[in-house]
Amino acid sequence: MKKLRRLGGVTAALALALTAAACGDSSPSAPTQPSTVVPELRPDQQVSITFESYNLAQAGPWTDTFTDLINRFQAAHPNIKVTAQKPATATASNYGSSAAASIQRQIAAGNSPDVGQLVFGDLRYAVKGLGATPLDDVVGRDVVQANFGGAHPFAPAARTLGDVDGKTFGVPFVFSTPILYYNASLFTQAGLDPAKPPTTWAEVKTFAQAIKSKTGKDGVYIDCLTKKAGDWCYQSLVYSNGGTVISNDQTRFSFAEAPAVEAVKVAQDLVQSGLSPKISQEQAYPAFGRGEIGMILETSAAEATFRKGATTTNPQWDLRAGLQPSFDGKKVEPTNSGAALLMFAKDPAKQRAAWELIKFLTSDEGYTQITSKIGYLPLRTGLLDDPAGLKDWAAKNPLIKPNIDQLARLHPAASFPGDNYVQIKDTILDAVEKVVYSGADAQSTLTAAQEQATKLLPKG
């Protein structure tokens, strides 16, 4: 059995929204595809596969939507039986971070899932440490690339996010950029124009001050600054202030340099000014849903939860969304959260069945369901203009628009090299938490974390 490399010391806290594309993993000149590919299944060929998805650990629209998608797939492919499961140790609070560790344990036991949903930050480890199967070798690179096309092609910015060393290992699946949700009812009570959300962080502070002073509610919560939130949104703040977290060649960290430090200090100031509460992500979601926070920077995957809160809280309130705010005079560079679908099957028949499932889940039908029922960004963006797709839904759900607008400016988040990638991410976010929520000195705290993270880089 292939020996598995261990996840760098922490198997229960894996990174969110990191992308291999940012590290030069994709290549414009693809390797030559194999001369033979796995044969297609015969119509009467019965195959059973296992699909592991961390979304199945989340109650409500996530589990309901994914269960419905699997049922739809099996109805269209009666010869393929799919057993859908959540990661073994997944809970509602660690669902994304448990995925790679779960697959690692199953592979070690000789019983890996055939298809796994992994966050983008796990991609390099899934390939190098878990032996994910290159899709190009199973069905041929031309077929893989053709799957990104069709009546509603994938957004160009997303197509290579699952590539490593010039091969496609993952098909991007659930996806979002940072959105500024806001309580338009509180805006009105505070004397703010609900049709004009803040567009800069300086304006966010001004709006938050008005909300706090006029309504007594908390002004804003930035869900980018803790280990639970992951570092995908944190990186977006850094990039949008002209900074970076690691050099392009992945040999030197840069999150203690001035632009990155200044981005964190903006968040620290909101907390120290009493405009942003010192609460966890688990506390912030229901608090915003109850109308107790004026604004929250968050993934679009939270839209269904926030909408439910807005429509069931007494009194009801008006949920709206805007673009990620900018730092004065600088261009917003949004990163992405979410995950890709990877193949771990080794048996040829299971590989073909797994490919059919991956295709279906990322098809027009798949994205119509996950967008309309959960709020994730449809990577087949043409569906939003198709009367048979999501056009009617989009007209009734304008909160999707900021996400679409930001997709064109996507900056893939940097992924960290080596088996210690989880520890590196945690080291950074531990320091960020200390600065923002405990008032630690930003420069010295981040410099110390950068020195510690440097020791975790691969040697040589």
What pLDDT digit, counting tens, does each position of 331-358 carry? 999 998 889 999 999 999 999 999 999 9
Digit-coded pLDDT (tens) for 442-458: 999 999 999 999 999 98
Task: Answer for the pair 394, 400: CB distance below 8 angstroms, yes or no.
Answer: yes
**pLDDT score recorded for residue 29:** 38
Digit-coded pLDDT (tens) for 81-121: 999 999 987 554 445 567 888 999 999 999 999 999 998 88
Tell me: cis bond preceding 315? Omega within 30 of 0 counts.
yes
Task: Answer for the pair 228, 238: CB distance below 8 angstroms, yes or no.
Answer: no
Report the pLDDT averaged over residues 429-447: 97
**pLDDT score recorded for residue 460:** 66
- The neighbouring-strand residues paired with 171 are 341
Report the pLDDT averaged over residues 58-85: 93
pLDDT of residue 225 exceeding 90, the answer is no
Average predicted confidence (pLDDT) for the chain: 89
Nearest 5 degrees, angle CA 379-CA 135-CA 105? 95
Range in 25-39, 239-253, 301-315, 408-422 the model is least confident about = 25-39
What percentage of the chain's residues is helix, strand, coil (to nearest 5)? 45, 15, 45
Report the pLDDT averaged over residues 291-299: 96
Q: Give the residue ranges of DSSP H helices in 216-302.
A: 232-240, 258-272, 281-289
Phi, psi of 170 (to 5 degrees): -135, 140
Higher pLDDT residue, 187 or 30?
A: 187
Give residue 304's identity as a one-letter amino acid code.
Answer: A
Please tell me the distance from the alpha carbon of residue 391 to that of residue 404, in angstroms, as a whole number: 13
Percentage of the chain exceeding pLDDT 70: 90
Decide: residue 318, CB within 10 A, 0-12 exposed, 13-18 middle, 19+ buried. Answer: middle
- Tokens coding 306: 């926030």
pTM: 0.82
**pLDDT score recorded for residue 12:** 33
Q: 184 vs 148, 320, 395, CA distance in Å? A: 38, 6, 19
Range in 116-125, 191-200, 230-239 the model is least confident about = 116-125
What strands lie across the sheet with 319-322, from one edge to the other?
218-222, 293-298, 179-183, 319-322
Report the pLDDT averaged over residues 166-184: 94
Range in 87-96, 191-200, 387-396 the model is least confident about = 87-96
Element (H, E) at 352: helix 348-361
Report the pLDDT averaged over residues 191-212: 98
Strands 47-52 and 293-298: unpaired
**pLDDT score recorded for residue 26:** 38
Digit-coded pLDDT (tens) for 233-254: 999 999 999 999 999 888 999 9
